[in-house]
Amino acid sequence: MIRAAIFDVDGTLVDTKEAVFLLMNETLLHFGLAAITFEEYSPLFGLGAYGMSEGVLRISAGQAHGLEVEEFVAEMSRRYLIEPLKNTRHFSGVPQLLHSLRDKGIVLAALSNKPEEINRKIIQGMFPAEIFAHSMGHRPGFALKPDPGMLRLLCGRLGVLPESCLLIGDTPIDMQTAKNAGAMAVGVLWSGGYDAAALRAAGADYIAATPEEILTLF
């Protein structure tokens, strides 16, 4: 029996693709590096701050940029914290989905590879306080998804076993995280980042093209 639904944030609950793209280029320019195009950036979205930053730096300046990824991510995070909701919006149908699941007695949570403070501000700014029982971003001492550590901790805080949870996300990393933790994986298509074949190959148990299709699992 499914008792909890845990949602990835970027690309699943909220559309932050443009926001992160603009932030990446703003940070590149801060360090005197060349901006990249949206087409160059798009395949990197969803890899987490460090994965995206490594790719962006390679595209912008090649291997010899002389800038530590950690320094780039720290500056980008500092800028993100100033206006974390800028250029960010809900995906159509997501707020209605969350309320419908709550009405069915499903416990809801959010899990992101974004730094904890940024993730908390986005969740608090975009959703009513009562929607999510817990939300969690990346924090010191935990590896990023697809490592299952954060998901297992979140399940513990919800008081449910991973096998009674759905992890709902838009990337292969989310599918792998669910499998690594022993949870069921739901791949969503509404962000347009990955197709059903890629999500199934990464372990998706179910595919949903729209938020409304999630309700059929309950």
Same-domain status, 37 and 133: no
Query: Going by C-beta distance under 8 Å and a sequence separation of 6 or more, which residues neighbour residue 212?
Result: 93, 97
Handedness of CA 4, 179, 196, 45 (dihedral sign): positive
Give CA–CA dist 206/98, Å, rounded. 18
Chosen domain end from 67, 82, 97: 82
Same-domain status, 200 and 151: yes
Per-residue pLDDT of the chain (218 residues; tens, 9 = 90+): 899 999 999 999 999 999 999 999 999 999 999 999 999 999 898 777 888 999 999 999 886 667 889 999 999 999 999 999 999 999 999 999 999 999 999 999 999 998 899 999 999 999 999 999 999 999 888 999 999 999 999 999 999 999 999 999 999 999 999 999 999 999 999 998 899 999 999 999 999 999 999 999 98
Give CA–CA dist 93/200, Å, rounded. 23
| Cβ 217 vs Cβ 186: under 8 Å | yes
Q: What is the pLDDT of residues 151-171, one digit of tens each?
A: 999 999 999 999 999 999 999
Q: What is the pLDDT of residues 176-210, one digit of tens each?
A: 999 999 999 999 999 988 999 999 999 999 999 99
In 3-state terms, what secondary structure has residue 207? strand
Q: Are strands 89-90 and 14-15 parallel, antiparallel or unpaired?
A: antiparallel
Domains held by the chain: number: 2
- Number of Cα atoms under 13 Å in the Cβ half of residue 187: 24
Same-domain status, 155 and 97: yes
Same-domain status, 122 and 58: no
Same-domain status, 123 and 198: yes
Query: Going by C-beta distance under 8 Å and a sequence separation of 6 or more, which residues neighbour residue 85?
Result: 121, 122, 125, 126
Give CA–CA dist 76/60, Å, rounded. 15
Chosen domain end from 51, 82, 113: 82
Give CA–CA dist 150/143, Å, rounded. 8
Chosen domain end from 56, 82, 108: 82
Same-domain status, 188 and 201: yes
Same-domain status, 161 and 201: yes
Structural domain of residue 32, as residue ranges? 17-82
Whose tokens are 């280029």? That residue is 25
In 3-state terms, what secondary structure has residue 38? helix
Same-domain status, 26 and 132: no
Same-domain status, 100 and 41: no
Same-domain status, 129 and 197: yes
Same-domain status, 141 and 73: no
Read off the pTM.
Answer: 0.93
Same-domain status, 33 and 109: no
Give CA–CA dist 3/101, Å, rounded. 10
Q: What is the CATH number of the domain that holds 202?
A: 3.40.50.1000
